Amino acid sequence: MRDFQQNPFIVIWELTRACQLKCLHCRAEAQYHRDPRELTFEEGEKLVDDIYDMDQPLLVFTGGDPLMRPDVYDIAKYAIDKGLRVSMTPSATPNVTKEAIRKAKEVGLARWAFSLDGPTAEIHDHFRGTSGSFDLTMKAIQYLHELEIPVQINTVISRYNVHVLDEMVELVEKLQCVLWSVFFLVPTGRGKETDMISPVEHEKVFHWLYETSKRVPFDIKTTAGQHYRRVVLQQKMREKQTTGEIRYEDVLMKGLNGQVDGLGRAPKGVNDGNGFVFISHIGDVYPSGLLPVKAGNVRETPLAEIYRNSPIFQDLRNPDKYKGKCGVCEFRYVCGGSRSRAYAVTGDYLESEPFCVYIPKAWRKS
């Protein structure tokens, strides 16, 4: 089994910060123009070699908009030829042509992920800060189907769409996506706390997601919603589907086709800096793109050294060091709360997840 102390399960590389959109929640506060300090193609090759040597984790290109880098397919080809599984999260802009997608298929990209934050153009375009984005996304998904590339949909849950989640799931099903990645807002970058749903609403959405996951044909995963794992375990325990032990294996939900996410699922709970690492466009290394605490730079130090030895990463991988209720919670090894949200709200990445309603056993009066 992959040891998260040594190697991540997933590496996110922000190829560029350039993007034509101006999304309300943008972590990167993306800019229209490329930063001249971006890692060069040659530096990218070296980085890919280092990533490959970390037990071949899944590599995801993000941005900004990765398509704003003209050499994106050359970098992807280098990584795929080497043997890595690569996926990409481009922005839905006119850059996403059928030709662009065909190129992605030619180089062997495993999957494309598009953001869809509402079941209607009105809701989605408001959130993305650009009108026409919804229609472009629909068109791009159609191209992906035509070219038989698996589609993933990413949705940010916020107060703008929490009331239309049933319609949202219908759309994801209609679009025949393989994975719905449900992201819970972290108030960093352009994301504001006032746009977030409340802790109680988080809990309600988690319960709704669990029930939904039983009937839909696609997989559901949460990002920055680690406490969904606690809800899944609690529900399964109630339904007597588990031994009663708190084990990560019991969190995995199978889609109706009997499979878990085709790109493979983590062997245990991924969290910021724990099975997960983010490399910025200029090579800075963070536990997550949502946790702006720099642990090093790949221009100066090999990625593996930063991931394995940085005190920031080491602390994040030790749930016994978490503070407050997360530090004593019986679910801390499978959940642990979002370290990014703890940091965004309290300024301390070891603090408790501020949007979890659960009171751990250790805190309850006997």
Binding site for ligand SF4 (CB under 6 A): 227, 230, 325-326, 329, 331-332, 335-337, 352-353, 356, 358, 360
- Report the residue number, 60 or 356, with the smaller CB distance to ligand SF4: 356
Residue at 218: amino acid letter: F
62 contacts 18 by C-beta, under 8 angstroms: no
Residue type for position 20: Q
- Rounded Cα gap, residues 191 and 93, in angstroms: 21
For ligand SF4, which is the closer residue by CB, 174 or 365? Answer: 365
CB of 234 to ligand SF4, least distance (A): 9
Placement of tokens 């506060």 in the chain: 29
DSSP 120: S
- CB burial string 25-50: b at 16+ within 10 A, e below: bbbbebeeebeeebbeeeebbebbeb
Helices then strands, counting H and E runs in the chain, come out as 12, 10
In the bound state with ligand SF4, the residue whose beta carbon lies nearer, of 305 and 330, is: 330
Output 52 or 333, the one with its CB closest to ligand SF4: 333
Minimum CB–partner distance for residue 189 and ligand SF4 (Å): 22
Residue partners of 62: CB distance under 8 A and separation at least 6 = 12, 13, 14, 15, 88, 89, 289
User: At closest approach, how far in Å is the CB of 359 from ligand SF4?
Assistant: 8
Q: Shortest Cβ distance from residue 232 to ligand SF4 (Å)?
A: 11
- Smallest gap from Cβ 344 to ligand SF4, in A, equals 14
CB of 345 to ligand SF4, least distance (A): 13
The neighbouring-strand residues paired with 276 are: 10
If you write DSSP's letter for every residue of 241-285 in order, what string do you get? -S-SS--GGGG----TTS---TT---SS--BTTBSEEEE-TTSEE
Instruction: Compute the least distance from the CB of residue 100 to ligand SF4, in Å.
Output: 39
Instruction: Give the position of tokens 């588990």.
Output: 242
The two three-digit tokens of residue 252, written as one number = 């995995």
| Nearest CB to ligand SF4, comparing residues 4 and 134 | 4
CA-CA distance, 351 to 340, in Å (whole number)? 10
Question: In the complex with ligand SF4, which residue's Cβ is closer, 50 or 330?
Answer: 330
Which residue, 265 or 332, is less far from ligand SF4 as judged by CB? 332
CB of 186 to ligand SF4, least distance (A): 14
| Nearer Cβ to ligand SF4 (124/221) | 221
